[in-house]
Structure 1
């Protein structure tokens, strides 16, 4: 799955504000970016068709909400990207992640360590 720049901004907005119609999204994002209301409506529709948003009719408009949390979407995007480059059983993804983590500070590395430990517990059924 690929996301355009405006799609990413809309998702960020909806993760922060939980629910909005196209007019609200346009007033916060569209006007500052020079986008029309129609462009925002199209972006919301694309995200809905991609399964990333849900919507409920309220009067003449739809109210949109995210269907996936931020971390789940990031994981999906990483899997989609790496699936094209990494063969099963290959350690390229781990090597690439290790390379990226050189920019982490101690707090981030501690958090990563906790998350890895949680995954180990989940796999062993000790949660």
Structure 2
């Protein structure tokens, strides 16, 4: 699967959340956070379908779209690519930059510590 553009990734995030949706349903979600035309949403989803990012159920008059790739698989691929291109393959640099962007909550830091402990225990 090709790397999704920012607009495609936004549509994928809604489809992962909803499981499946019509263009109108996705467009309504997009419209909650930004101004975009219905035909723009339709065109992007048609392109995503032609790229193999989405499947389309054409049984009814309203086509229902589903994401092909799982959210986790796409995230892993994007992070791997970002780490290689922007951080010279260094997971440390990526994590340090990500954590430095905003102030993680105490709960988030606790979850991160627990995850690091898990990783450490796997290596022992």
Q: Sort the TM-score into its range (normalised by shorter chain).
A: 0.5 to 0.7
| Residue equivalent to 1:77 | 78
Structure 1 consecutive aligned stretches of length 4 or more whose deviation exceeds 6 Å: 121-124
**Secondary structure of the structure 1 residue equivalent to 2:47:** helix
Shift of 1:20: 0.9
Q: Which has the higher strand share?
A: 1
For 1:39 and 1:69, the matched residues in 2 are separated by: 24
Deviation at 1:42, TM superposition (A): 1.9
Q: CA deviation at 1:2?
A: 4.3
Secondary structure of the corresponding residue to residue 55 of structure 1: strand
Structure 2 residues without counterparts, runs of 5 or longer:
none
For the residue of structure 2 that corresponds to 1:84, the secondary structure is helix
TM-score (norm 2): 0.67
Structure 1 pair 115–56 and aligned structure 2 pair: CA distance change class (3 A): farther
Query: Deviation of residue 97 (structure 1)?
Result: 0.9
Structure 1 residue matching 2:37: 3-state secondary structure? coil
The structural deviation recorded for 1:94 is 0.9
Normalised to the residue count of structure 1, the TM-score between the two structures is 0.66
CA distance in 1, matches of 2:121, 2:48: 34
Deviations 1:103-126 (A, max 9, x none): 3232112212333444566778xx
Alpha-carbon distance in structure 1 between the residues aligned to 2:117 and 2:11 = 33
